[in-house]
Structure 1
Amino acid sequence: MAEDYKYLTFRIEDNVGIITLNRPDKLNAVSWDLAEELAALLLKLRYRDEVRTILLTGEGRAFCAGGDVDFLSGEGDRPMPGTSSADRPIPRSQRKSPGGPFFEVMRQLVLVDKPVIAAIHGHAVGAGLAYALACDRRFADSTTKMAAIFTNVGVAPDCGMSYFLPRIVGFSNALMMVETAKVFKAEECKELGLIDELVPEGKDFETAFEYARMLAQRASVAVDAARRLIHMSQYMTLDEILEFEGAIGVCVAGSADAKEGTMAFMEKRKPVYRGV
C-alpha cells in the first residue's frame, strides 16, 4: 500500500508506516515544501489506526543533510526572515513563526502519539539530526555522520535541537556540539548516545523495520500511552506525573488488549493483540 507525495514516499507494511524523505539529489535536505508534506503526514498518521508504529528514513546516500541552503540564505523562492532582502514581502504567518513547517515537524514527531523509529545512513546533520533525535530510537549504519552543524553556516540551532540534544548527550557534550559544529563518525555518534543501535553498512533499514514491526505487534494503546507518559515526564513534577499515570492507566485498562494481556498472563499463553 503506497501513497503519492512530491518530496516523500509513504507505504504501510505490517502496520508500520514507512516515511522516506525523497530528495536524494539534495541528500534529502529539508525544503519548506518537504517539511509541509512531512508535518501534514504525521498529523494524519496520528488518527490512522492501521498504522501502529512509524519508520523514518531517507532515500539515496543520506538520511537528511539539514535545512535547504537556498531557503536559509534567503535567496530561494520563499523569503526567509532575517536573510531575505527587505523589499521581499514575508507572509504574516511566517513573521510570527519563521520556522514554519520545519518546526511543526518536530511537534508532530512527538504529537503523533505512536513510536517513531529512525533508520539512518550517511549524513544526519542540522535539521536532519534534530528530526532523528526526536525519534524514539535510532538505528544507524557505519556510513552515518552526524553534526549540529548550524554555526558552520553562521546560524543558531533550531528545529528543537536545543531541547533534544542536551537530554540525549548531556549538557557539556551538547554545548561542545553546537559550539564547534564538529562532524562525528558513526562510532563516535554511538559513544555520544546519538545512535542507539549501530549496524553494518546497508542494514539500518532492515534492523529498524524489524524493531518497528515488533512494536506494532504489541498492545499499541498501552505502548502509545507509555510513550506519551515518558514525554510528559520531561517537564512535569513527580506529583504531576503520578496523577497522569493514574488517569491514563484507567483509560488504557479499558482497552481490549489490556483484557487480552491480563487473561493471557493468567492462562500462561502468548497474548494476541489487535491494537484496540
Structure 2
Amino acid sequence: MLLQERDGSILTITLNMPEKRNPISDVAVVDAICTAFEEADRDISVRCVILTGAGTAFSAGGDLKQMRPDSGGLRSGNPVETRRNYKYGIQRLPLMFQALEVPVVAAVNGHAIGAGLDLATMCDVRVAAESAKFAESFVKLGIIPGDGGAWLLPRIVGFSRATELALTGEMIDAAEALKIGLVSHVVPNDDLLGKAREIAAKIAANPPHAVRMTKRLLREGQMADLKNILEMSAAMQSLAHNTRDNDEAINAFIEKRAPVFTGE
C-alpha cells in the first residue's frame, strides 16, 4: 500500500492503491503511513520526505464502501465505537504529522478529496500538478471533517476561504489552489516530482538539525504566543550554535567556499 524510494537524503513515499484512488481511512493504511514517517523522522540522514500518490489521485480520502454501518471501517453501528475508530485510526495522522521534525513536501498529482485534502494540509509544503483537484467535501456526504481539517485548512488559506470550501464542499482546480495559497507551485503533470525534488533538494542542502528545529518552531508558532516561541527559540539556538554544521557554515562563508554539512 506504500512505496518508498530513497535518493540520497531525500525519501519519496507513494500511496500505492491506485485502483481505489489511494484511500487513507483504513487502519492498516494509517499504520503504514505512521510507521514510514516515524522511521524517517528518527533517521537524521533523511533530510526531506516527499509524499505523493500513484495513479490519477493523490488521495480520495475515505473509502466510501467502508462508511456503511459495521462495514469494518470507521463507521460502526455503535456511536461510541465509531468515536474510538476515529481516535485510534485516522486521527493519528494529523497528530503524527504535527509531531514530525523532518520536512514533508506533498506532490499532489491528482484529486485530493476530503481526508485526502486534509492529508495534503498536514504536509509542510504543497506542490500541485496542473490536473490536481481539491475539495473539502465532507458536507456533501452528510458528515464533518473528522480528521482535523477544521483546524488545518483555516491555518493555510484563512478562515473565510476555508469556511467556504468546507460548507459548500466545492471542488477547486490547481490554479485556484495556488491563488488562495493552498499550494506553493503548480506545474505540468510530468514536471511534478521534478519540482518536488527540486524543493526537497534545497531543503536537504541545509544543516539538518537547524532545518528540523526551524520546522518545529514554525509548527509551534501556529499555537504558542510570542513569549513562548522566543523562549523556545533561545533554547534551540543554543543547540544550533553548538553544532559542527554551524561552524562549517561560518568557516565556508569566510573562506568563500561551498559548505559541506554532515548533520553533526
Query: How many angstroms apart in 2 are the aligned matches of 1:48 and 1:122?
Result: 29
Query: Could you tell me which of 196, 200, 212 is aligned with 2:200?
Result: 212
1:268 alignment partner AA: K
Aligned to 2:104: 116
| Ranges in structure 2 where 5+ consecutive residues have no aligned partner | none
Aligned to 2:19: 25
Aligned to 2:160: 172
2:11 alignment partner AA: G
Kept in 1: contact 2:178–2:184 (CA 8 A): yes
Aligned to 2:50: 55
Query: Could you tell me which of 66, 72, 80 is aligned with 2:67?
Result: 72
Query: How many angstroms apart in 2 are the aligned matches of 1:56 and 1:176?
Result: 27
1:41 equivalenced with 2:24 (yes/no): no
Please state whether the residue corresponding to 2:72 is helix, strand or coil: coil
Moved more, 186-195 or 136-145: 186-195
State the Cα distance separating 1:214 from its structure 2 match. Answer: 2.2
State the Cα distance separating 1:95 from its structure 2 match. Answer: 4.8
Kept in 2: contact 1:120–1:138 (CA 8 A): yes
Please state whether the residue corresponding to 1:202 is helix, strand or coil: helix
Please state whether the residue corresponding to 1:29 is helix, strand or coil: coil
Please state whether the residue corresponding to 1:101 is helix, strand or coil: coil
Query: How many angstroms apart in 2 are the aligned matches of 1:95 and 1:165?
Result: 22
What is the identity percentage for the equivalent residue pairs of Structure 1 and Structure 2? 32
| Ranges in structure 1 where 5+ consecutive residues have no aligned partner | 1-6
Please state whether the residue corresponding to 1:63 is helix, strand or coil: strand
Kept in 2: contact 1:145–1:184 (CA 8 A): yes
TM-score (norm 1): 0.90
- Number of residue equivalences: 263
Kept in 2: contact 1:218–1:275 (CA 8 A): no
Deviations along 1:91-131, one digit per CA (max 9) or x if unpaired, are xxx75462423121222222220110011121011111111
1:228 equivalenced with 2:220 (yes/no): no
State the Cα distance separating 1:158 from its structure 2 match. Answer: 2.4
Please state whether the residue corresponding to 1:102 is helix, strand or coil: coil
Query: Could you tell me which of 7, 16, 34 is aligned with 1:13?
Result: 7
Report runs of 4+ in structure 1 exceeding 3 Å deviation.
Answer: 94-97
State the Cα distance separating 1:47 from its structure 2 match. Answer: 0.8
Query: How many angstroms apart in 1 are the aligned matches of 2:190 and 2:68?
Result: 33
Aligned to 1:3: none
State the Cα distance separating 1:251 from its structure 2 match. Answer: 0.9
1:57 alignment partner AA: T
Deviations along 1:217-275, one digit per CA (max 9) or x if unpaired, are 21111011111101111111111111110001001111111110111122222211112
Q: CA RMSD in A?
A: 1.8
